[in-house]
């Protein structure tokens, strides 16, 4: 099943969710690691990988968003009304952070004079002038954004686990590979 239904996510939503989650978790771990490494070839390789992956996520976000709004959202009717509202706001927050993090990183690097390379070869500068102050400003957004994203993702994972292990509903199963019977 490629498309979502009212009871479960389709393969395209699942592939986008898991490929982007793994990349974003990798980006956050790489980001917090690379800034603490001593100057070395490895440090700059991680920087380069972080930027290329971040740009790829930036290009995937609109595709995911268009796919999301063109699809039925699986029902949240098994949850109390308050939790349904919370789940929707949680999803909006994750989409917003997913969109803003790569943009702030892209602006920061371009303003610093180190525009990222797309897929390791094509220089892709943001439409923004070189300026230390601008780079520092976007650097601040990127830093605080990374912490907010980390907290949001940890909360998201915690709630997915709670639905599965405590509430025994199908919220986690319907995002996992394979189909549900109902
Ligand atoms: C960076 C990491 C992650 C991000 C940014 C993220 C983001 C999202 C977003 C935006 C949705 C809404 C999907 C939609 O309706 O379009 C979603 C759904 C979901 N995510 Fe994640 N996710 C991440 C990691 C994870 C992980 C690690 C798990 C499991 C342990 C997980 C479990 C789920 C589940 C179960 C749903 C479906 C909720 C429902 O049925 O309404 N996510 N995620």
**Domain extent listing, the chain:** 11-72+79-175
Residues in a beta bridge with 122: 118
Give me the average pLDDT of each 10-residue run along the chain (182 residues): 95 98 98 98 96 96 98 96 97 98 98 89 93 98 98 98 96 91 60
Four-residue CA torsion sign, 29, 30, 34, 35 = negative
Whether the pTM exceeds 0.85: the reply is yes
| C-beta neighbour count of 45 within 10 angstroms | 11
What was the pLDDT predicted at 118?
85
C-alpha 174/C-alpha 180 separation (Å) is 7
For ligand 1, is residue 124 a contact (CB within 6 Å)? no
Residue identifier of the C-alpha nearest atom 13 of ligand 1: 91
133: left (phi over 0), alpha (psi -120 to 50) or beta: alpha
What was the pLDDT predicted at 181?
66
What was the pLDDT predicted at 127?
95
Q: How far is the CA of 166 from the centre of ligand 1 (A)?
A: 18
Spell out the alpha helix ranges (H) of 71-128.
81-111
CATH of domain 11-72+79-175: 1.20.950
Q: How far apart are the first and last CA of the chain?
A: 13
CA 152 to chain centre: 10
CB 163 within 8 A of CB 169: yes
- Which residues in 131-161 are b (16+ Cβ under 10 Å) and which e? eeebbeebbebbeebbeebbebbeebeebee
CB 56 within 8 A of CB 98: no
Q: How far is the CA of 156 from the centre of ligand 1 (A)?
A: 7
What was the pLDDT predicted at 182?
53
DSSP state of 79: S
Nearest ligand 1 atom, CA 87: 41
Residue identifier of the C-alpha nearest atom 11 of ligand 1: 91
């Amino acid at each position: 099943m490629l498309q979502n239904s009212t009871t479960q996510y389709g393969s395209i939503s699942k592939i986008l969710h898991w490929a982007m989650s793994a990349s974003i978790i990798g980006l956050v771990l790489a980001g917090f690691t690379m800034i603490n490494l001593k100057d070395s070839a490895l440090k700059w390789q991680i920087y380069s990988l972080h930027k290329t992956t971040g740009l790829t996520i930036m290009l995937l976000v609109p595709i995911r968003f268009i796919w999301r709004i063109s699809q039925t959202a699986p029902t949240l009717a098994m949850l109390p009304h308050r939790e349904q509202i919370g789940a929707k706001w949680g999803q909006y927050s994750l989409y917003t952070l997913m969109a803003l993090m790569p943009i702030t990183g892209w602006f920061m690097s371009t303003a610093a004079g180190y525009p990222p390379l797309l897929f390791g070869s094509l220089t892709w500068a943001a439409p923004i002038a070189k300026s230390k102050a601008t780079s520092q400003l976007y650097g601040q957004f990127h830093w605080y954004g990374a912490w907010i994203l980390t907290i949001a993702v940890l909360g998201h994972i915690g709630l997915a686990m709670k639905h599965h292990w405590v509430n025994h509903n199908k919220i986690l199963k319907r995002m996992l590979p394979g189909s549900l019977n109902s």
